[in-house]
Amino acid sequence: MNPNERLTGLTPFVYAARCGSFAAAAVQLNLTPSAVGKSVARMEQRLGTRLFDRTTRHLSLTDAGQAYFETCLRVLNELTDAQAVLASHAQTPMGRLRIDLPASFGRLVVMPLLIAFSQRHPYLRPHVTFTDRFVDLLEEGVDVAVRIGAVNTLPPAIGSRYLGTERLIFCAAPGYLARRGEPVRVDQLGQHDCVVYGKNDGAVSPWSVTTPDGLRAPVAVACRMVVGDSEAQVAALEAGAGIAQMATWLVNDSLRAGRLEHILAEQVADGLPLHLVWPISRRLTPKIDLLLQTLSEQLSIL
């Protein structure tokens, strides 16, 4: 049997499971009960298992039938969604667009892009949230999310696109360097005040450097201050609290303005990966497709 015939055979089975009888399914499908019954029988023969327990008045799904019914239902729903979004693909992007962003990266980097995006597409109504916690896109109705970190455990219903990796550099305020001196080797960082990022549970993000052979080596630091917010960490650095290893996207403005200086310039390390994630079932809608394309192009340059 070719794939098209197999796909066509799903519908009588699903209707029979929903209605509880071949006769009721036949009425809704404008077929004869015999045609529905034969279609289900062919499916059972092909699968080599019984899908229904049959009585003279009612059908009930077997355990195997229930599992297969749920799979068929998902396949048919996804086909319906795909047909709908493809039919609307030529339409003007419009409507509500739910976007979730990491807090600091979202405010500093992504939000300006989204403002420009919404100005170019006035019929869109972006709803933007900021959080560093795990967000269940399907449960919370998120169309597109930007994530910093690994996405290896995403469910099959979620798509992802790798955009690049953070670059980490060492920096400090000119005033701090004038007062304490500028380290010229990584092993001198242990003699300096260091401002590190830390979570509420007390864990701090370790520093590391890339060795000449491409491996990552930890850096021993003296934690002068632990800060649980990246933007507050930048503010502490600018105030002269010490030295920190920071993602370039966080400190580029401060470096350009002279509020911070890049030190140990040869020690640039890779940070966390950056991804776009989205529910696969919504990928083909014009608004989501356009947003993914825009963010892919503009966030790939960190």
**Each residue's pLDDT tens digit, 49-59:** 999 998 877 88
Q: What is the 3-state secondary structure (H, E, C) of the chain?
A: CCHHHHHHHHHHHHHHHHHCCHHHHHHHHCCCHHHHHHHHHHHHHHHCCCCEEECCCCEEECHHHHHHHHHHHHHHHHHHHHHHHHHCCCCCCCEEEEEEECHHHHHHHHHHHHHHHHHHCCCEEEEEEECCCCCCHHHHCCCEEEEECCCCCCCCCEEEEEEEEEEEEEEECHHHHHHHCCCCCHHHHHHCEEEEEECCCCCECCEEEECCCCCEEEECCEEEEEECCHHHHHHHHHCCCCEEEEEHHHHHHHHHHCCCEEECCCCCEEEEEEEEEEEHHHCCCHHHHHHHHHHHHHHCCC
**Residue where one domain finishes, among candidates 87, 103, 127:** 87
Specify whether 160 is located in the same domain as 287.
Answer: yes
Q: What pLDDT is recorded for position 130?
A: 93
Specify whether 278 is located in the same domain as 138.
Answer: yes
What is the C-alpha separation between 105 and 147, in angstroms, rounded? 9
Specify whether 215 is located in the same domain as 278.
Answer: no
Number of CB atoms found within 10 A of residue 64's CB: 15
Domain, as residue range, for 237? 167-270
Specify whether 294 is located in the same domain as 147.
Answer: yes
* CATH code: domain of residue 202: 3.40.190.10
Specify whether 210 is located in the same domain as 277.
Answer: no
pLDDT band at 224 (very low <50, low <70, confident <90, very high): confident
**Residue where one domain finishes, among candidates 87, 118, 139:** 87
Kindly report, residue by residue over 113-125, the tens digit of the pLDDT: 999 999 999 888 8
Residue of 77, 71, 69 whose CA lies nearest to 19: 69
What is the C-alpha separation between 127 and 95, in angstroms, rounded? 10
User: What number is the average pLDDT over the span 24-32?
Assistant: 90
What is the C-alpha separation between 296 and 225, in angstroms, rounded? 35
Specify whether 174 is located in the same domain as 256.
Answer: yes
Kindly report, residue by residue over 85-113, the tens digit of the pLDDT: 565 555 677 788 999 999 999 999 999 99
Pull the structure tokens for residue 234.
Answer: 């930048």
Q: What pLDDT is recorded for position 52?
A: 92
Whether the per-residue pLDDT at 216 is higher than 90: the answer is no
- 8 A C-beta contact, residue 169 and residue 255: no
Angle (CA) 172-176-180 rounded to 5° is 115
Pull the structure tokens for residue 239.
Answer: 């105030």
**Residue where one domain finishes, among candidates 87, 118, 145:** 87
Pull the structure tokens for residue 237.
Answer: 């650095």
Q: What pLDDT is recorded for position 8?
A: 67
- Domains of the chain: total: 3
Pull the structure tokens for residue 25.
Answer: 């399914």
* CATH code: domain of residue 39: 1.10.10.10
Residue type at 29? Answer: L
Specify whether 173 is located in the same domain as 250.
Answer: yes
- 8 A C-beta contact, residue 52 and residue 65: yes
Whether the per-residue pLDDT at 63 is higher than 80: the answer is yes
Number of CB atoms found within 10 A of residue 198's CB: 16
Specify whether 177 is located in the same domain as 266.
Answer: yes
Specify whether 59 is located in the same domain as 109.
Answer: no
- Say which residue the tokens 């059972």 belong to: 44
Q: What pLDDT is recorded for position 302?
A: 55
Specify whether 256 is located in the same domain as 278.
Answer: no
Specify whether 140 is located in the same domain as 277.
Answer: yes
Kindly report the length of the chain.
302
Specify whether 138 is located in the same domain as 102.
Answer: yes
Least confident of 25-39, 91-105, 225-239, 278-292: 278-292
